[in-house]
Each structure stands twice: as C-alpha cells, then as structure tokens.
Amino acid sequence: MKNFINLIGIESPGLTAAQPIAKRVVEIINKKERLNSNPKFNPFRKGILRFEEQDEETKKILIKQDSDYGEIVCRCEKVTKKEILEAINNPLGARSLISIKYRTRAMMGRCQGGYCQTRIMEILRESFKLGPQEITLKGNDSYLLTGYRSNKENELCQNKKLLSLEEELPV
C-alpha cells in the first residue's frame, strides 16, 4: 500500500525501541513530504490534579471553585468526581472504565471498584448520554451489562405477564 507505514507487532523491544523507530519514520516521511516543526507545540501535558495530594487550604479553594471536587467517587483512592470528569474531557478522553482507572487510580484500591464502579458508570452515562448497556470495561465489545430493558420494555413485559395470567384463569 502506497504511503503506509506499518508499526505493529513491536512487542519485545517495546518502549526502548519506540523513540528510534519514531525518528526513523519521521525520516521516511520527510523524504516524501517536507515536515515543518510547530514552534507552538508543547510536548508536556498537564496531568489531572490529584485532589488527595493537595493541602487542606488548597482543597477548600478547589471545592469553592468547583463543587465536583467535594464529591468523592472512589473512597479507597480518594478520587473525586472532578478528576473523573477531567479524565473524560481531556484531549484523549476516557470512554471506558479501564481508561478512567488508568488516568485517575479509581477502582485500584482495596475494593477494586466494588464501591465506585457504578458511580463511575453513572458519570460516563451522563457525560456521553449513553444507556447503561453501552458502557464498556475496555472499549469495543467489553460490555458490562446484558439483558438491560428500558422502562417501556419493562412495562410491556409486565402487561404481557398480567395478560397471560388472566388468560389462564377461569372466568
């Protein structure tokens, strides 16, 4: 395929080879098309502020600025709703439970998500306007919930059960 560079399957050297491989790819691309540096590019990303690591005065200020800092979602790792929302809304937005876990440490504590997983699912649901059955553990088809029915479907099922019972009863 023309103008395609395949870099998959690099497992053993992994991170140690990543930078030399990237430099080589840049050389290959630069031969075909002139690449220019972006003077505004900042290679350092501001991470998510860890509320738990702040002093008490800073915590009070943060909560005053944004009440989501005052809502602890993960008790074990003391992760706030604001930290979860920042993971969701950053440029590489977290869209699965594992991506939130890696960015915030939520679900890494003693309970392994037993307390906070449903709370994080609710934040994901609200942020992306998803149904509960659409939330994934790792993306793709790693759905957590199956057999989910909407309220309307539940009503229809209840009505059908009532009708079938009435049909079976002698009049």
Rounded Cα–Cα distance for residues 102 and 123 (Å): 16
- For residues 53 and 19, the answer to whether their CB atoms sit within 8 Å is no
Q: Say which residue the tokens 């690099």 belong to.
A: 10
The pLDDT value recorded for residue 155 is 65
Give the percent of the chain with pLDDT over 90: 55
Confidence check: pLDDT of 162 > 70:
no
Alpha helices in 12-116 (DSSP H): 14-32, 56-65, 81-89, 97-104
Question: 156-161 contacts: CB < 8 A, separation 24 or more?
Answer: none
The beta strands (E) that lie in the chain are given as: 72-74, 79-80
Q: What is the pLDDT of residue 67?
A: 97
| Number of alpha carbons in the 13 Å side-chain half-sphere of residue 66 | 13
C-beta separation of 75 from 105 below 8 A:
no
| pLDDT tier at 159, thresholds 50, 70, 90 | low
What's the mean pLDDT when you consider all of the chain? 86
pLDDT at 160 exceeding the cut of 70: no
Residue 144's pLDDT is 87
Identify any residues that bridge with 136 across adjacent strands, giving them in sequence order.
143
DSSP 109: S
Give 51's DSSP letter.
Answer: G
CA angle 119, 122, 125 (to 5 degrees): 155
Of 135 and 12, the structure prediction assigns the larger pLDDT to 135
pTM for the model:
0.67
Contacts of 63 (CB under 8 A, 6+ apart): 69, 70
Alpha-carbon dihedral angle through residues 71, 132, 91, 17, given to the nearest 10 degrees? 110
Tens digit of each residue's pLDDT (9 = 90 or more) over 7-32 = 877 766 666 788 888 899 999 999 99
pLDDT digits (tens, 9 = 90+) for 24-82: 999 999 999 989 989 999 888 788 999 999 999 999 999 999 999 999 999 999 999 99
For 51-134, CATH gives 1.10.10
